[in-house]
Structure 1
Amino acid sequence: MHLIYLDEAGNSGTNLDDPHQPIHTVCGVIVKDSQWLPIETQIDALIAHLVPRVADREGFEFHNSDIFQGHGFFKGWPWPTRVDALERLLDIIVTNKLPIVWGAVDKQKHKAKYVYPAAPHDMAFLLCAERAERWFKNHAKDDVGMFIADDTKAKSDMKKSFKEYRKTIALGNRKECLEHIIDTIHFADSRETFGISFRMRLTISSSGILWAPLELSPFLSELNGMYMQEGCFRKKGAAK
């Protein structure tokens, strides 16, 4: 059994013209059931290292926007300390060899291609689900997985879409069924489950290249070459 922790970035609803969110991305981190407890222990140890006082850990969450901008729990933390915190979290993904699958929709291209374009979040989720299914077919064909997502107001729409996607996903000239993804999408508060702490809110540039701060590139480039293109990330000290 595998748990597939989902998150999204760039959600502007049906507005395809938001210049600040040109790409909608849905990303999933795949965790095998036998990995769950060891990884939880590793994350608890990391939080204890970052926040020594137990009383200060209540509600602690690795939220990338807070880390990058110095908000929330990371308010007042120096930039190098915040980068180190995220590096340590990403290193847990690398150490445990957790696969990452993702789907992304360029809203302007999507708008230009269709007279009545589907909602970007539906399309991005469909692509991510299809790639999760493909991962199972290639690496765990005798196993199954379940989606777990951050609680959202759109969860009823997501469940409805997923129910349809489970029957048949039509992509190009081929149709694929989600044979390895079972049940429905389960929603949880990100503060209550470690898996959603792995939310990979990586920005997708207009050229479709995955982007992240230069300091994190050595970690991101190791995440899983099959699903995260290594050439998109610069090494430390490399020219911009």
Structure 2
Amino acid sequence: MEVRYLALALVFLSGCTTALKTPEIAVQPAEITPENKVYIEPQPVVEKAPTKKTKLKAKNASQNTPQNHNYVGMQGFLTRPPMFADSNQEKSFQRCLPIEITGLYQSGKTISIHAKQNGQTFSIVGINRKAFTLTEQNKVLLLEQYFAKELILSSVGRKIASEQERVCAGQTWKSMQREQFQFVIGDPEYRQQTQFAGSEYDVWTYGSVRQSNLRYYYFLSDRLVSWTK
């Protein structure tokens, strides 16, 4: 009897345990529908602003041909020795003949002025041992300083006429006038006054210590009296 009740109790408990279990549900992966897709809108490409260095290059490139044409067509003389892009042009250039400026150009830091003389074209890059530079207003100050419409040289007397020929040929000699010397050699790097034997001399210095080519010229009463090389 007790064994039968015990068996019935076991059957009852077994049924309760089965009823309490949670049925397993298979989870299916969610289906991706068009509504679930994510759309990423492409962003516009933003170009980087050019650096300051790039802007400077663009500015320099625009200056390769300066727009100032005030010098073109000018006719006259250079009152100081010119510098040429080609040193061979110096041999055929005649200081006492007028030139006509036909153009002004810039390549990097080099300014060149093109001029015609007796049917020849010359490329001049400086005057008085100094290279041309261009201001912000497209002006070449050296050209304005040493360009003259007329060449003023004395022309009275046979001796003066002979001196003119020597000046135009680029020659120097003792007792030549200071203005003639400046026309042939150019202005000095240094200039000073010195006293010697009761006279005051005007001493002009050319060259440089670094290149060991200093030259001294002594003037008395505006005439060349001595020099050292």
**TM above 0.5, one fold?**
no
- Point out the structure with the larger strand share: 2
Larger gyration radius, structure 1 or structure 2 = 2
TM normalised by structure 2 equals 0.23
Tell which has more relative contact order, 1 or 2 (C-alpha 8 A, sep 6+): 1
TM normalised by structure 1 equals 0.22
